[in-house]
Every structure is written in structure tokens, then in C-alpha cells.
Amino acid sequence: MNIRTSAKAIIINDGKLLTIKLNDNGDYFYILPGGGQHHGENLYETLKRECLEEIGGHVEIGELVFVREYIGKNHEFAKYHSHAHQNEFMFRCELVQPLKKGIKGSNPDKGQIGVEWLPIEQLQSYNFYPKALRENIIKYHSGERMPTYVGDIN
């Protein structure tokens, strides 16, 4: 099996985190914008393309904040993801222009029903994945220095 590489955007504005809202058979959950790297793309190109596809917005990419591995056989969705192994590079990003209401990305994720700003201080109360990253994002936003490599988490 191949290891998939992806880039994710951490976009924070007024104490809120920009997320993708997904519906999986009536269960709602949230993830960071971003996705899989294509052959021949660097991570910045991947992230810019994915943000256009999912949120319909251009981003300026800043520092690398977190690196996460996801080895599916080790987590709660092992039944469905036992073959998955993904490395995610999460960058702090800024929107070039505010998102316009009603504008959708050109190629949203399967199950994507919208884009939503979640209050960072309340992030623990949302079904946000990876769940183990919620506390890291809260601490990062408060200015606490966090390890970049967060390991195999979900």
C-alpha cells in the first residue's frame, strides 16, 4: 500500500477556526480544509488547489504548525480504514479575501455540506477530526508552543 500525503489549512479569524462541515449518513463532523497531494505538486500547490476546491477561496500559506500521521488500523475506524496510511502537513493560512456567503468550492469533498467557522474556545464540544488535535489547536491559538509532530492520532 502507498502512503498518502496531504496538506491542510489552519485558518483562524476572530477566535474561530474555518472548517469543512461533512454529513456521513446523518452524522455531522468537521475537518480542516485541504487534501491529497497530486503527483508533481508541492505541498503549497496542493493546499492552494484544495482550498479553492473546498472553500472557494485563495489562501496565503504561512508556517508549518502540525504534522500528523494517520494509520487507519490503529484507530476507531479500523474496520473501514485498515488500509489507510496518511501523512498530513498542517499550515497556518490566511484568506486572501473574506469568503463570500453562498460561494462554494469548485470540487467539494464527498459529503461536504458547507464551510463553518467554529469558536476555538469551544472546539472540544464539536465533532472535529482529528479529535486528538482539538486541544493542540486551542493551545496553539492561545500562544502556547506545541510540538510540530503530533504522531499517529485521530
Tens-place pLDDT, residues 13-35: 999 999 999 998 889 999 999 99
- Residue 128 has what DSSP assignment? B
Q: Are strands 16-24 and 4-13 parallel, antiparallel or unpaired?
A: antiparallel
For 14-111, strand residue ranges (E) read 16-24, 27-31, 34-36, 59-71, 85-95
- Residue 70 has what DSSP assignment? E
- Reported as half-sphere exposure (CB side, CA atoms, 13 A), residue 21 has a value of 12
Percent of the chain with pLDDT over 70: 97
Domain spanning 4-152, CATH architecture = Alpha-Beta Complex (3.90)
> Using CA atoms, how far apart are residues 56 and 102, in angstroms rounded to an integer?
10
Single pTM value for the model = 0.93
The contacts of residue 138 (CB under 8 Å, 6+ apart) are: 120, 121, 123, 124
Bridge partners of 30? Answer: 21, 128
> Using CA atoms, how far apart are residues 106 and 29, in angstroms rounded to an integer?
21
- What local confidence, expressed as pLDDT, does residue 102 receive? 65
pLDDT tens sequence for the chain (154 residues): 689 999 999 999 999 999 999 998 889 999 999 999 999 999 999 999 999 999 999 999 999 999 999 988 887 776 777 888 999 999 999 999 988 776 678 878 888 999 999 999 999 999 999 999 999 999 999 999 999 999 999 9
H-helix or E-strand containing 5?
Answer: strand 4-13
